[in-house]
Structures are given as structure tokens and as C-alpha cells.
Amino acid sequence: MTASASSPDRYAVVGNPIAHSRSPQIHARFAAETGEHVAYDRILAPLDGFTVTARDFFAGGGRGLNVTVPFKLEAFELADQLTERAAHAGAVNTLWIDAAGRIHGDNTDGIGIVRDLRDNLGVKLAGARVLLLGAGGAARGALLPLVDAGPAEIVIANRTEPKAEELAQSARAAATRVTAAGFAGLAGRFDVVINATSTSLDGDLPPIADALLKDAGFVYDMMYGAKPTSFLAHAAICGCAGLADGLGMLVEQAAESFFDWRGVRPTTGAVIAAIRAELAAR
């Protein structure tokens, strides 16, 4: 699967904005580790020009794309074939083209969070009671891989309970019990609490009781930064000792994309540590 030395296979991340993306750094490290001969760039697509940009990339010999905001729904529509988790999520963050010219779509965000929690952080998901905060795209992308990890129950909580109920309904054929609630209706102890809302981007908090965070076994925020997110900082004040942000999820979802493209799964620990060190040095 390795290209000749003179012609690396071309990949890129496409979004708007895109200058902040760490994907080129991450995939360069993956390529160096695995010996895969690839080139990886950033592409700034016009807000109304994702489909044309993606098709031009593939027509020009590009092999695969990572897709970030705000184009994941358009990537879903562009794909000719979808993985099960992408079909369930209704959004795509990974595209690739096969020899017959078919464009495949995957959503690797959910498996990224599962691998970070279970493999990197040692959090037991099998048999656990999990609280998933939010019912938007991030929660939808995470739900099916979380169900596959075998928790006893997943409670989806959202400001508007009907939206949480709709998402819960989509996963109720699974062995895991999946229920829905409004933020005010949450009760009991959770082994794992996952913030899939965007509140941390604004330094805000989802409106849940402090006792839920105090009693939680582990609290995870999909967002990340140089300092603890507002959600994690508040959970620490509430008394929860098990805390992690979404940096590991970022790297793990990239590793799954790399596997989709190359058939090789890179290791992630050194990449997570390197980015964490860079953030700390700022």
C-alpha cells in the first residue's frame, strides 16, 4: 500500500476555518512511525464550495480527506458508501476514494473517544452507567461506538428532552439500555460523564447538578485546550478526581482515519504526549 518514493499518496484536511488544524502534524507523525509514504495538507474550502473542493481533490489524484466543521453533513451527502457508524451519525469526518472511483465515508469521532477512554485512560466502559450530555452532532457521532463498548446503560441528556429521546431511540435495538432525559431530570450515580455539548467553547457549563459531577467515577470533555476546560475545572471543584479532555479523542480519531486509508493503525501515545507538551509550553 506504500506509494513510490517519487509520488506520495495525497491526503488533506478540509474545513473553514482550517489554519488551526493539528491534523497535518498528527498524520506526519503517523506516517513517520508506520513508514507509509504520504503527503498531508490543509485545504480551506469556501463555505458554499465543499463538494466542488472535495471532488476536485479526488479528480486530481487525492486519496483521502479528513473533514472538519462546517462540512461533515455535506461530506455525508457526498459519500457513495457509508460505514455503519457514519450512517448512524448522519455525518462524515473521513472520506476516501477506491479504485472504482467510489467515495467512501466514515465517522471516526466515536471510536476515537472510546479508545481514549478505554485504552489510554483505563476507564471501564463495559457494564458502566454512562451519562452523555448533549444530543447534537458530537453526541450522535459518539453514540454507536459507545454502545458497542458494552455499557449497562447510556443516559442521553439534553436541554430539549425530545431531541435526546430521538437520539436514544436510534440506538434502542442494542443490548445496552439507552434512555433520555432533560438536564433537570437526571438522577443517580454515573460511572462516566461525557460532555458532548459545545458549552466549554464559551467557558460555559451544561446546567446539571454539581452532585452528579461529585459522585461521578470519571468526567470527560470532548473539547480540549492548554488549560482545563470550564467543564473539567468545575468538575474538579465539585470533587471529581478522574478528569480528561478530548485531546486523546482527537488523536485517536485521526489514527482510525489513517487505518481507513492505509490499512495500518498507528500508535497514539507519543503523539498525544507531544501535543500536550506543546500546549503546556504556550
Residues contacting residue 237 through CB under 8 Å, at least 6 positions apart = none
CA 267 to each of CA 25, 45, 64, 67, 204: distance values in angstroms, whole numbers, following the listed order: 14, 30, 20, 22, 33
Is position 21 annotated in a ligand binding site? yes
Is position 226 annotated in a ligand binding site? no
Is position 153 annotated in a ligand binding site? no
Is position 163 annotated in a ligand binding site? yes
Is position 233 annotated in a ligand binding site? no
Is position 253 annotated in a ligand binding site? yes
Q: How far apart are CA 87 and CA 105, in angstroms?
A: 9
Q: How far apart are CA 247 and CA 274, in angstroms?
A: 11
Where do runs of H (alpha helix) occur along the chain?
23-34, 50-59, 72-78, 84-89, 109-115, 137-148, 161-169, 210-215, 230-238, 247-262, 269-281
CB neighbourhood size of 60 (10 A): 8
Is position 222 annotated in a ligand binding site? yes
Q: How far apart are CA 98 and CA 101, in angstroms?
A: 5
| 72, 124, 214, 227: the active-site residue | 72
Is position 22 annotated in a ligand binding site? yes
Q: How far apart are CA 279 and CA 13, in angstroms?
A: 21
Is position 84 annotated in a ligand binding site? yes
Residue 124 appears among annotated catalytic residues: no
Is position 204 annotated in a ligand binding site? no
Active site residue ranges: 72
Residues in the annotated binding site for shikimate: 21-23, 68, 93, 109, 224, 253
Known binding-site residues for NADP(+) equal 84, 134-138, 158-163, 222, 246
Binding-site residues, please?
21-23, 68, 84, 93, 109, 134-138, 158-163, 222, 224, 246, 253
